[in-house]
């Protein structure tokens, strides 16, 4: 379904209820209402009312009375999923019409996307069992739930990833940036703050504009820092900011690659510039060998940071015992493991890090 101004006008004037309902289920309910209002105003101001324009009044009742009801049902469903309320999800209202489980909010996300991001395992399982057709549904960025299962910092992300794969999710699907789900295991993906804060937005409508609001304990790291410092900037703006700091970094990288200096390359990796080294080569044989290990190292670093964010001390100890140098690694915000432990208030991890890596107390972000 291609939703644009011309098609909206056509479907409204044709009184095509099936297509209009599809527009609402795709998350464009408010846009539909505005378009219909605009057409009605134009018609009232036009003395020469054709038969075709008379059809517009037939649609008016549907848009004014039925569309708000549909939008409200979708909003309630999405809210229940975001809050992990399986009881509401199981209500007959939603089971009677399977289209609602495929309904989208204004980000183009389905309930499965949201359940995945929030780490609600039972909700994900229920949707996969009852509505398997939703598994590869895409949002406006072309991302499936599988993309978000690898991107989320929620402790259930990996478990949900396995559930989705077992249920038949396609791991080869590429989003609008040409990236597969596995790409986001080691690359930052900005998750809208409104998704992470289902309870506190000024406007939680699935067919309206975005809102901001009070906190949720899930994905604390994303909601507290990405939500308040990055969520109001688009992914493109973040990339532009990164490019702004790249000339000096690029020179450093080029020098390290040209000289084959493995120590310098390792410093760049630990400082959070591993993505800049992927796919590069060097004149030095040792440097080439090191470059081949970077994706695996980045995956381990990603797991370490997630472990600390989620307060998983056992996994943190296991990783740092095998790779003590990872204590100096930085994430996309230039936070070290010690920063992350403090940000998320994990006292047991803070004590462990100070006892075993005392020099970390002086670590700085960028």
Whole-number Å distance between alpha carbons of 31 and 36: 9
Over the Cα atoms of the chain, what is R_g?
24
Which pLDDT value is given to residue 214?
Answer: 34
What's the CATH number for 245-362?
1.25.40
Which pLDDT value is given to residue 232?
Answer: 37
Which pLDDT value is given to residue 246?
Answer: 58
The number of angstroms, rounded, from the C-alpha of 53 to the middle of its chain's C-alpha atoms is 42
State the alpha helices, DSSP H only, in 83-214.
86-89, 92-95, 111-118, 121-130, 145-151, 157-166, 193-196
Task: Pull the structure tokens for residue 353.
Answer: 């890090």
Which pLDDT value is given to residue 147?
Answer: 94
Which pLDDT value is given to residue 316?
Answer: 95
Of 306, 239, 311, 224, the residue nearest 276 (C-alpha)? 239
218 three-state secondary structure: coil
DSSP string, 277-346: HTT---SSHHHHHHHHHHHHHHHHHHHHHHHHHTT-HHHHHHHHHH-GGGGG---TT---HHHHHHHTT-
Check the CA dihedral 300-305-309-314 and report its sign.
positive
Which pLDDT value is given to residue 121?
Answer: 94
Which pLDDT value is given to residue 233?
Answer: 39
Non-local CB neighbours of 241 within 8 Å, separated by 6+ positions: 233
Flag residues of the chain having pLDDT under 50: 48-49, 200-245
Rounded to 5°, angle at Cα 267 from 265 and 268: 65
Task: Pull the structure tokens for residue 126.
Answer: 């229920």
Contact 55, 13 (CB under 8 A): yes
Which pLDDT value is given to residue 44?
Answer: 59
7 three-state secondary structure: helix
Which pLDDT value is given to residue 208?
Answer: 39
Contact 107, 76 (CB under 8 A): no
Task: Pull the structure tokens for residue 217.
Answer: 């304990």
**What is the phi/psi pair of residue 139, to 5°?**
-90, -170
Sort 125 into a burial class: Cβ within 10 Å, 0-12 / 13-18 / 19+. Answer: middle
Helix/strand/coil percentages in the chain, nearest 5: 65, 0, 35
């Amino acid at each position: 379904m291609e939703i644009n101004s011309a098609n909206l006008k056509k479907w409204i004037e044709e009184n095509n209820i099936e297509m209009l309902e599809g527009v609402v289920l795709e998350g464009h309910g408010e846009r539909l209402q505005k378009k219909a209002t605009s057409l009605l105003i134009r018609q009232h101001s036009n003395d020469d009312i054709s038969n075709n324009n008379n059809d517009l009044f037939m649609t008016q009742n549907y848009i004014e009375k039925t569309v708000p009801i549909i939008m409200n049902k979708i909003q309630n469903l999405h809210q229940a999923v975001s809050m992990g309320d399986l009881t509401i999800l199981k209500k007959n209202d939603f089971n009677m019409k399977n289209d609602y489980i495929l309904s989208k909010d204004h980000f183009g996300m389905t309930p499965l996307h949201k359940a995945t991001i929030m780490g609600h395992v039972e909700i994900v399982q229920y949707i996969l069992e009852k509505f398997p057709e939703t598994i590869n549904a895409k949002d406006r960025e072309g991302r499936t739930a599988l993309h978000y299962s690898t991107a989320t910092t929620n402790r259930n992300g990996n478990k949900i990833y396995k559930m989705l794969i077992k249920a038949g999710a396609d791991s080869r699907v590429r989003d609008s940036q040409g990236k597969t789900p596995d790409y986001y295991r080691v690359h930052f993906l900005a998750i809208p703050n409104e998704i992470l804060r289902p309870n506190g937005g000024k406007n939680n409508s699935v067919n309206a504009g975005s809102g901001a609001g009070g906190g949720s304990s899930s994905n604390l790291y994303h909601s507290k820092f990405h939500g308040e410092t990055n969520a109001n900037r688009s992914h493109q703006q973040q990339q532009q900011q990164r490019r702004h700091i790249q000339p000096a970094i690029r020179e450093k990288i080029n020098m390290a690659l040209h000289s084959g200096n493995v120590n310098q390359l390792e410093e760049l990796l630990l400082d959070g510039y591993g993505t800049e080294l992927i796919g590069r080569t060097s004149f030095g044989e040792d440097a080439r060998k090191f470059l081949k290990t970077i994706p695996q190292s980045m995956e381990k670093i990603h797991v370490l940071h997630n472990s600390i964010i989620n307060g998983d001390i056992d996994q943190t100890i296991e990783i740092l015992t095998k790779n003590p140098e990872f204590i100096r690694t930085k994430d996309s915000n230039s936070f070290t493991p010690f920063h992350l432990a403090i940000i998320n208030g994990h006292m047991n991890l803070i004590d462990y890090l100070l006892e075993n890596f005392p020099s970390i107390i002086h670590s700085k972000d960028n």
